[in-house]
Amino acid sequence: MTAYGDLTIDCVGSNSESGECNAGVECIAVRSCQDLKNSGFDYDMTTTIDPDGPSGPIKPFSVFCRLSGSDAFGYSIVNTTNMSLPGIYAHGSEPGGSIHIHIDYQGGATAQQLNSLAQLSLNCSQFVRYTCHDAGIHYQNNVYLQATWWVNYRWQQMLGWAQPYSLRYQSVCACHATGSCGTLTTNVEGVDTVVQATCNCDRNERVENIFDEGTIYDKTNLPVNEVWVGDTGDATEWSHTYVGPLVCWGFDPSAGR
C-alpha cells in the first residue's frame, strides 16, 4: 500500500443502493414441512411453521424438517425435551394415574399447537415405551382396572398403550395384537384364573427389561400430553416412561388448505 499522507478524494456515485429483493420469487406460507418439500426444498432444516395460517389463533412454532429423503413427503419433527432412554422414573404411589408425567416439547410448543399440525397432516406417529418392574398397566388382581395411561391434547384419558390403530379404543397394548403378551393369574369371580395378558407389564414380573412399546398412529389424539402412572406403591414396584418425538407428514385432503 502506498501512503499519500492526509490526501482524500470524494467517492463517485451514491453511497446507498436500494431495490426489490427476491424479485419473481413467491413467498411460501409454511404450514408444515410438507409445504417446503412441495416447493422443491431437499435439505433438512429447522424452521418455524404455522399450521392454521397467519389468520388463525394458533401461534407459530419451531420444528425440524426432514426433507432429504427420496420420497415425496416432508416430515415435521418435534422432539421431546425432557426424555432420554430409559425414560422418566416413577415410584411410590399405588392408585391408578396418581403420578403425572408431563411431556415437554422443543421450543415450548404446546399440545394444542402440535395437534393443529397433526390435524393438518395426512399421518402422524409417536413412539412410546413403558418399562416396568412389578408394575402393571392394568392391576393384576383386576385386569379391567387401568393403572397407567396416556393423556391426549384435550386432557382425555387414552386407554391401552401403543395398540394398533384398529384397536385404538380397547384397553390393550401392542403385544395383544400379536398374542405375545403371555399369561397371568387373576381373580375372576373369586377364583384364581389364568388368562391371556393384554400387556407385557401386566404380568407383574420382578425382572429387568420388561416393557410395552409401540407407535401411536391415532393423529386425532396426538400428541401425547402427559402419562399418568400407578401401581408403583410397593418397594419392588417402579417404572420408566419414554415418549419420542411427534412426526407428521403429508397433507390431509379434508383439512381445507
pLDDT for 6-28, tens place per residue? 666 667 777 777 766 655 555 66
Residue 143 has pLDDT above 70, yes or no: no
pLDDT at 26: 58
- The β-bridge partners of 183 are 196
Fold observed for domain 33-251: Jelly Rolls (2.60.120)
Averaged pLDDT score across all residues of the chain: 88
Cis check: omega of the bond before 223, within 30 degrees of 0: yes
What's the rounded mean pLDDT across residues 73-98?
A: 94
Nearest Cα residue to 96 out of 49, 61, 140, 33:
140
Q: Where residue 163 falls among pLDDT bands split at 50, 70, 90?
A: confident
pLDDT at 169: 76
**Helix, strand, or coil here: 130?**
strand
Q: Where residue 151 falls among pLDDT bands split at 50, 70, 90?
A: very high
pLDDT at 99: 97
Q: Where residue 94 falls among pLDDT bands split at 50, 70, 90?
A: very high
pLDDT at 142: 67
pTM confidence score: 0.83
Q: Where residue 121 falls among pLDDT bands split at 50, 70, 90?
A: very high
What's the rounded mean pLDDT across residues 191-202?
A: 85
pLDDT at 108: 94
Q: Where are the alpha helices (DSSP H) in the chain?
A: 33-38, 111-120, 174-178
pLDDT at 4: 55
What's the rounded mean pLDDT across residues 156-180?
A: 85
Nearest Cα residue to 213 out of 180, 184, 236:
180
What's the rounded mean pLDDT across residues 50-77?
A: 94
What's the rounded mean pLDDT across residues 104-110?
A: 95
Residue 196 has pLDDT above 60, yes or no: yes
Q: Where residue 191 falls among pLDDT bands split at 50, 70, 90?
A: confident
Let me know how many helices (H) and strands (E) the chain has, helices first. 3, 15
CA atoms within 13 A on the CB side of 112: 7
Residue 130 has pLDDT above 60, yes or no: yes
Q: Where residue 166 falls among pLDDT bands split at 50, 70, 90?
A: confident
Residue 124 has pLDDT above 70, yes or no: yes
Between residues 161 and 123, the one the model is more confident about = 123
pLDDT at 106: 94
